[in-house]
Amino acid sequence: MKAFLVANVALIIIAFGVNLALDNAGFSSANMTSDSNVRLGD
Amino acid sequence: MTLLRILLPLVFLVSFAGLSAAQDTTVNGVGVQPGKQTLADILARQRGEDVPFGAQVPRPAEHEAPPVSSQLGPLGGASDADLWRDIRADSGTSLSASNRGPAATVMMQESGIWWLDFRRGPLLTYGNAALAATVVLLAIFYLIRGRIKIEHGRSGITIARFKFIERFGHWLIASSFILLALTGLISLAGRKVLIPVFGLEAYSAYATIGKWIHNNVAWAFILGLVMVFVMWIAHNLPDRTDINWILKGGGIFGKGHPPAKKFNTGQKLIFWAVIILGGSISVSGLSLLFPFEITMFGPTFAKLNDMGVPQLLGFGPIEASLTPQEEMQYAQLWHAIISFVLMAVILAHIYIGTLGMEGAFEAMGSGDVDLQWAREHHSIWAEEMVAEKNKPASGAHPAE
């Protein structure tokens, strides 16, 4: 079951890594329907 | 004849006299206009007297209809067709919004309500019913067939079936799919099922975490899908053994198993279901993850119309000019429907790989399977592996 454990560790790393990368790239799907000129929930 | 000449004018005059008498109503000496209620009537009713309604009830005032352009007119004031067309269809040039997003200037689109009704109605109901039916069918199958045993018992000899990288790819896609399925179901069933049970605040936490997991774990699923496709496509191309395997029903019932290579026809069907359905889920998922960037449905509908597919099925051309929101709505429905189908397929796969068949899980657990299991379920592949193992190493010479 080593492959299973390694795959799950990889899954966690990929998920956090992608999230970090997209955040750093300034991507936000929320910006497609709103932007900084529109204040929601402030 | 003379008498008739006298009588006819008389009848005529008498009839007019009757009419004028009917109009000349007088109540307590006060003249009353027909159909109109008097102050005396109202006061009499307030005193508790029984004043009949009927002819004395005021008739509705007869006025001319308000002008079309007035506030009470048929078009509700100023009618500006161009303005409303702009607001509805994202085709106008007179609108501007502070947000520069692709769909910012579409303020109204009719299909939103249809989509919402379908999403919380038939999609949720029939999707979950399909999953429940799959579980019930598998349970019935288990009760009838029981666990598929290794017919001639374990040999005690194992052979390598899947390498580490193959099992890694399988588990990457498996773990991510389970997470995506659970969080997807939470997202879909939230408002109708989970909020009434857990409440708004508890569901909010589920939904926030679930959304994060769904959006970010999706990439692991896509990576696993690519890995599995590259590693196993050569073993999953159809060949002549598949015909025999299908004709014998895969040996599910009765004794004996049809010969098969590394992947039998059932596994090939699972493979292609995962690749095609999983690929479609991935593309529609990317379309949802990057809103309005990937348009799948408008161009597809246009191509189908050009090919005459809807017309062939007896429908008119499908509306191919979609608003950005409609693209997203179709992507969401497609994503969910195909996911339900794949979930049902994967439930069957999990069943046969664990509870349903002795010796099957080891292929993805340790990577090694019992030789007898391999001979029963993948006889051609097993013989190839045995022959390869017995083959003398290159450069070695047989003893003289």
Q: Can you list the pairs that B32-36 forms with residues at least 24 positions away whose Cβ atoms lie under 8 Å?
A: B32/B56, B35/B59
Q: How does pLDDT run across B194-203, given as a tens digit for each residue?
A: 999 999 999 9
Q: Is the pLDDT of residue B170 over 70?
A: yes
In chain A, the N- to C-terminal Cα span, in Å, equals 48
Alpha helices for chain B (secondary structure H)? 2-23, 39-46, 81-89, 111-118, 124-145, 164-189, 195-198, 200-232, 240-247, 265-289, 297-307, 309-312, 324-353, 362-365, 371-377, 379-390
8 Å CB contact between B364 and B170: yes
Interval B305-317 mean pLDDT: 91
Closest chain B residue to the Cα of A27, Cα to Cα: B290
Is there a contact between A1 and B101 if contact means CB atoms under 8 Å apart?
Answer: no
Distance, CA of A19 to CA of B217 (rounded, Å): 9
Contact A3 B99 (CB under 8 A): no
Nearest CA in chain B to A9: B172
- What confidence tier does B23 reach under pLDDT thresholds 50, 70, 90? very low
Question: Residue A3: closest CA among chain B residues belongs to which residue?
Answer: B168
| ipTM beyond cut 0.95 | no
Backbone angles phi, psi at B260, to 5 degrees: -150, 155
CB contact under 8 A, B99 and A16: no
Q: Which residues does chain A have within 8 Å of residue B104's beta carbon, measured at their own beta carbons?
A: 33
- Tell me the percentage of chain B whose pLDDT exceeds 70: 80
Cα–Cα–Cα angle for B15, B20, B21, nearest 5°? Answer: 95
Answer whether B66's CB lies under 8 Å from B73's CB.
yes
Between A33 and B312, name the one with better pLDDT: B312
Of the candidates A4, A18, A38, the beta carbon closest to that of B216 is on A18
Chain A residues whose C-beta sits inside 8 Å of any chain B C-beta: 1-4, 6-8, 10-11, 14-16, 18-19, 29, 31-35, 37-38
* Nearest in space to B219 (alpha carbons), one of B276, B275, B119, B286: B286
Cβ contact B102–A32 (<8 Å):
yes
For chain A, what is the largest distance between any 2 Cα atoms, rounded to a whole number of angstroms? 51
Pairing mode, strands B158-160 and B25-27:
unpaired
| Mean pLDDT computed over B344-369 | 95
Do B141 and B135 touch, CB atoms closer than 8 A? no
Q: Does B179 have pLDDT greater than 60?
A: yes
Q: What is the mean pLDDT of chain B?
A: 84
What is the C-alpha separation between B318 and B301, in angstroms, rounded? 6
Residue B225: name the closest of B263, B170, B296, B163 by CA.
B170
Is residue B128 classed exposed, middle or buried when 0-12, 13-18 and 19+ CB atoms within 10 A define those classes?
Answer: middle
DSSP string, B44-94: HHHTT-----GGGSPPPP--PPPPTTSTTSTT-SS--HHHHHHHHHS--SS
Name the architecture of domain B112-390.
Answer: Up-down Bundle (1.20)
Contact A29 B290 (CB under 8 A): yes
- Selected residue of B162, B216, B328, B361 to mutate for chain A interface (largest A Cβ count, 10 A): B216
Q: Are B296 and B331 in contact (CB under 8 A)?
A: yes
Kindly determine whether residue A32 and residue B220, on different chains, have CB atoms separated by under 8 Å: no
State pLDDT tens for residues B25-45.
Answer: 444 544 455 556 778 888 888
Alpha-carbon gap, residue A13 to A18, rounded angstroms = 8
Per-residue pLDDT reduced to its tens digit, B87-146: 766 555 667 777 767 777 777 777 888 999 999 999 999 999 999 999 999 999 999 999
Q: Which residues, at least 6 apart from B205, have a Cβ–Cβ distance to it below 8 Å? A: none
Do the Cβ atoms of B108 and B97 come closer than 8 Å?
Answer: no
Q: How far apart are alpha carbons B381 and B83 in whole angstroms?
A: 69
Average pLDDT over residues B270-299: 94
Q: What is the pLDDT of residue B90?
A: 56
Candidate from A37-41, B279-283, B301-305 with smallest mean pLDDT: A37-41
Residue of A4, A11, A27 to mutate, testing the B interface (most B Cβ within 10 Å of its Cβ): A11
Q: B141 to chain A nearest CA, in Å?
A: 28
Q: Which among B99, B172, B219 has the least Cβ separation from residue A7?
A: B172
Q: What confidence score (pLDDT) does residue B102 get?
A: 74
Which of A16-30, B63-77, B275-289, B305-319 bottoms out in mean pLDDT, i.e. has the lowest?
A: B63-77
